[in-house]
Chains A and B, each alone.
Chain A
Amino acid sequence: MTATLTPARMRSSDVLRVGGTGLRTRPMRAFLSALGIAIGIAAMVAVVGLSSSSQDTLNRQLAALGTNLLTVTPGRTVSGTTATLPKESERMISRISPVQKAAAVGTVADAKVYRSDKIPEEQSGGISVRAAKLNLLDTITAKVSNGTWFNGATQQYPATVLGATAADRLGIGAAGPDVQVYLGGQWFTVIGILDKVTLAPELDTSALIGWTAAEHYLLFDSLPTIIYTRSDEAYVNEVQGVLAATANPESPGEVDVSKPSDALTAQAATSQAFTNLLLGLGAVALLVGGVGVANTMIISVLERRAEIGLRRSLGATRGQIRLQFLAESLLLSALGGIGGAFLGILVTSIYATIRGWSTVVPAWATYGGFAATLAIGAIAGLYPAIRASRLAPTEALSAN
């Protein structure tokens, strides 16, 4: 006969098996309470996933477009009328040493574009005619989706490159030598169509013509209305500071300088604020799920008093009973957590695919969410487990 009585340690595989008893015998209830947790986790993972997917897409866009594009436009004069940029401003700007490229665009006043000469004058479709310098395409990193950009010859002839929206409104799907539009009272051949220009959306609704052609065929005053510049990334702020004075040394106050990428950056910041709000909502859902698990566990303990009594009579210590119910609660939450993380990733990838984003779910969101479910499972299971272990064996056995 042994001198000391020591309870045997339970193997972890046995703890797991015993913890799973409640889930096996009442699968529907286990499923529903795990679902509560799963919805919370799915919401949080999806919110983080969608936000980082859109952020990632935005960042890629910014990286592709560059943050070194500055535009110069005429502001207002002291008397309130629209100012003009001097003819030589483009040349002056390109002399600033960190400025790598500068390209001007000039609006041809009163010129309108029509699909044909039969269309009434007032149905101009809101398309502006703009004279463009040859290096514009390169400076704003725009792409020609169809046809070609101007060259030294075509910029002197009645030829036009349409912005994406402009082409759409005119009903032109492809450029070609026989595709013509009625522009400023003359026929212009459509030699190219641009892709959407993210950093210069005003070009989307433009019909661009060569600078020389504008001067020759239309009554173009040769004054630039927008000057696009690319500078050395390191000196963008410095360039921004001197652009106005360089463009119009006589009245720098009449010049507006802007950085189009700021709009994208601001968009990213807003989406971050929104993400935090949604993340909070997800956390609330998770908390509600945790309360559901606690509720299930308390009911489970009440219903299984006879089982607890039997286990005590088989030699289970209070600690082993506590462990059993804690394991059950943890298993329940872990199931919900895994299901929820999977669901969240699924939702993210479906939505991202629809929006044409790349799917990015940060690992910290998945692991963090899973860790959160375990913490919730432990907290939710603690009180019921302690209650179960405090149950007197005789009371538990006589419950049935």
Chain B
Amino acid sequence: MSTVAQLDEAETAAVKAVVRLESVSKEYPGGVVALRGVSLEIGYGELVAIVGPSGSGKSTMLNLIGTLDRPSKGSVHIDGRDVAKLTDRQLSALRAFRIGFVFQQFHLASGVSARDNVSDGLLYSGVSLSERRERAEAALNRVGLGHRLHHFPNELSGGERQRVAIARAVIGDPTLLLADEPTGNLDSVAGAGVMELLRELHAGRTTVLIITHDREVAAELPRQVVMRDGQVAT
């Protein structure tokens, strides 16, 4: 039972933190428990690695933080909002305006130029096509691909593709950038380049959350959250 005083306290804490998980559990149909009572707080402007072996529940955590899924138990606050109280439409708006995603498989549309792939990052934000393209060019410049605007994904290297995906994630200036194994499909040189870029974005005040199984990658980041068997191991 929570009192009014406790609620106020929770609200203030939620505003301070861009991500706030409170004894969050996730159980999938069939009885698989992916997360067991995880509590975690990530402040605005932090650069955090969530690290752990496969099956440790880190991908489930990304889905919950990215509001792509809802917890079975516990509460998730993103950017000060209780996910449980938001409708599917509101969650979509939250993702459109506040959260950027970077995936291990890039998820770029083939046969579509780098610029148009990036401009799709604003497709659901009500921005006109010409402005989307303009901002896409700026975003591609920001990730060092200003010379690759009209290339198709299959004409780009793996590292360049991931940079395009990152440009798409940051084109809307999200509060929170979630990267799921961003270097997982890249060789070490390209991977280092992508990590460098993510650090630069963080320096530009974006909260960056990187999920990785690679302890070396995680060790370079200011804060690590280690996951094991669905729990935070600290």
Q: Which of B66, B96, B103 has the most CB of A within 10 A?
A: B96
Q: List 28 A-B contacts (CB under 8 A).
A: A1-B79, A1-B80, A5-B81, A5-B90, A7-B90, A7-B93, A7-B124, A9-B126, A10-B126, A24-B111, A25-B110, A307-B107, A310-B101, A311-B123, A311-B124, A312-B92, A312-B95, A313-B68, A313-B95, A313-B99, A314-B101, A314-B121, A315-B96, A318-B89, A319-B89, A320-B92, A392-B69, A400-B107
Distance in angstroms from B136 CB to nearest chain A CB is: 13
- Give the interface residue-count category, chain A: 20 to 34
Measured CB to CB, the closest approach of chain A to B168, in angstroms, equals 8
Do the beta carbons of B88 and A317 come within 8 Å of each other?
A: yes
A374-394 CB contacts (< 8 Å) to partner B: 392-394
In the bound complex, CA of A315 to CA of B97 (Å): 8
- The A87-131 residues at the B interface (CB cut-off 8 A) are none
Q: Does B22 contact A (CB under 8 A)?
A: no
| Contact residue among B86, B109, B124 (Cβ-Cβ distance under 8 Å from A10) | B124
A394 to B95, Cβ gap below 8 A? no
Interface centre among B88, B91, B124, B168, by most chain A C-beta atoms within 10 angstroms, is B124
Q: Which residues of A does B touch, CB under 8 Å?
A: 1, 5-11, 13-14, 17-18, 21, 24-25, 306-307, 309-320, 392-394, 397, 400
Q: CB-CB < 8 A to B89: which residues of A? A: 6-7, 317-319
**Is B13's CB within 8 Å of the partner chain A?**
no
Contact indicator B120/A397 (Cβ below 8 Å):
no
B112 CB to nearest chain A CB (Å): 8
Residues of A within 8 A of B121 (CB): 314
Number of interface residues of B (CB under 8 A): 36
- In the complex, B94 has a CB within 8 A of chain A: yes
Cβ contact within 8 Å between B105 and A314? no
Find out whether the CB atom of A8 lies under 8 angstroms from the CB atom of B124.
yes
A21 / chain B contacts, CB cutoff of 8 Å: 109
Q: Who on chain B is nearest to A393 by CB?
A: B68
Do A7 and B111 touch across chains, with their CB atoms under 8 A apart? Answer: no
Q: Are B129 and A13 within 8 A (Cβ)?
A: yes
CA distance A97 to B93 in the complex (A): 87
- Report yes or no: B111 in contact with A314, Cβ–Cβ below 8 A: no
A7-B124, A8-B124, A317-B88 are contacts. A307–B109 as well, Cβ < 8 Å? yes
Q: Which residues of A contact B109 (CB under 8 A)?
A: 21, 25, 307
A-B contacts besides A311-B123, A313-B66, A315-B124, 11 pairs, CB < 8 Å:
A6-B89, A8-B93, A10-B123, A11-B126, A17-B129, A25-B111, A312-B92, A314-B168, A315-B97, A315-B125, A394-B69
Report yes or no: A7 in contact with B79, Cβ–Cβ below 8 A: no
Nearest chain-A residue to B66 (Cβ)? A313
